[in-house]
Amino acid sequence: MDVNALYDVVIVGAGPSGIAAAVSAGRNGAKTLLIERYGCIGGMSTSGLLTVWCGDASSGIFDEIRRTTTIKRGRRQVFDPERLHEVYRRLLQECAVDMLLHTSLCGVEHTGRQITSLSLLSKSGMVRVQGRIYVDATGDGDLACLAGIPYQKGREQDGLMQPMTLPFMVAGVDESQAVYPTFGTHLPLQELMQQEVASGKVSKPAGHVILIEGYHKGTASVNMTNMIHVDGTDVQDLTRAEWHTRDQIEPIIAFLRRHVPGFKDCYLYRTAAHIGVRETRHFTGSFRLTEQHILNSEVFPDWLVSRAAYSFGNHNLSGSGSDPNNMKYSGQRYTIPLGCFTTREFDNLLLNGRCISGTHMAHASFRVMPICLAMGQGVGTAAALCSKAGTPLQQLDTAAVQKRLLAQGVSAPQA
């Protein structure tokens, strides 16, 4: 690859939304560069060990991935992160997407309403890359932040953000006896966990029991470590969260052995390579999605995401369990419009993934991986078409984008 080349589309962040954007841009004929700070692509779905699809959205790319990686275990759709990583790699290779791994964004250059280049840092030193359209798929919105796009963090009234979790997996599970609790289920087990926290056997702020069937027999994913009052854009908070969530793993496994049917012989199998950050910056885009739009099943004429669906899944911002302030959700499907992905400041920058323009409560629904994959497909298609047309993103022909999305496996919204 020639880093001095002018790319049609430059994407920072190779989590689910960034990968889907790169694949979609490549399939639509754009010369595409995908940049990732780690050596592993896929983000929380691979190195982050979040091994279950939560929520849904209409996305041809998500359907492709799900068909080749996923099995149904109980009521959940689970996958093997190693298999998923290989599927991601194949999709990117088929589209001839250029990659830069082990490379971090450190600067954004812009003139007027145009971002002109990105400064990157790697083991090879500093490099500058140029593109016609730039996509921020970093999760925390690092590109948009460096470009000066306004944002707020967390909950509107106090800035509190959802807790962080370090997922891990156990093996040695007796599936003939095992149960798999989540929020609001297996209440005696949830109460036992609270008692063990109160007695000091398990350290706060852990305090809930969430177990997910593993893709491989005898394994389970554990979503029970918990770190509150931390900021995923603060390196000291990230360091503290990584350290203290690992402290919680051994006591949690001891709890599982003592109390959870089927887990008496379980043992630590794998730990995520990095902490899972649920929420940080919410950027102020051209339009802001709210919880009311979701509850009303709003169909926007300029939609890029169709038939998204997930509950308001905030975890407790000040403790364990689910957030008591979560709004009731009845399975409504909704759309996300172009304006949530564009900014008022630049004509060639697209937000993508959980950092798009939305409220704290709306974010609790759209942050999940299937919806982020659908975002990436919409954003990648929009970026490719806009690059070819040479028009500002705000003047994009969304009907043309939607026509292309429908041809690529996306279902039209239901009015």
Name the burial class of residue 218, with classes exposed (0-12), middle (13-18) and buried (19+) by CB atoms within 10 angstroms of its CB. middle
Q: Residues near 278 by Cβ (< 8 Å), separated by ≥ 6?
A: 161, 162, 163, 164, 165, 315, 354, 367
Give pLDDT, residue 4. 77
Give pLDDT, residue 282. 99
CA-closest candidate to residue 95, choices 61, 54, 125:
61
Residue 157: count of CB within 10 angstroms of its CB? 7
Alpha-carbon gap, residue 399 to 380, rounded angstroms: 15
Alpha-carbon gap, residue 100 to 33, rounded angstroms: 8
> Does this model's pTM top 0.85?
yes
Instruction: Read off the pLDDT of residues 176-201 as tens digits, 9 standing for 90 and up.
Output: 999 999 999 999 999 999 999 999 99
Q: What percent of the chain has pLDDT over 90?
A: 96
The mean pLDDT value for 33-56 works out to 98
The mean pLDDT value for 336-345 works out to 98
CA-closest candidate to residue 394, choices 332, 329, 350:
350
Unique residue bearing structure tokens 């974010």: 363
Can you give the length of the chain in residues? Answer: 415
Instruction: Read off the pLDDT of residues 47-96 as tens digits, 9 standing for 90 and up.
Output: 999 999 999 999 999 999 999 999 999 899 999 999 999 999 999 999 99
Instruction: Read off the pLDDT of residues 18-30 as tens digits, 9 standing for 90 and up.
Output: 999 999 999 999 9
CA end-to-end span of the chain: 45
Q: HSE-up of 261 (CA within 13 Å, CB side)?
A: 10
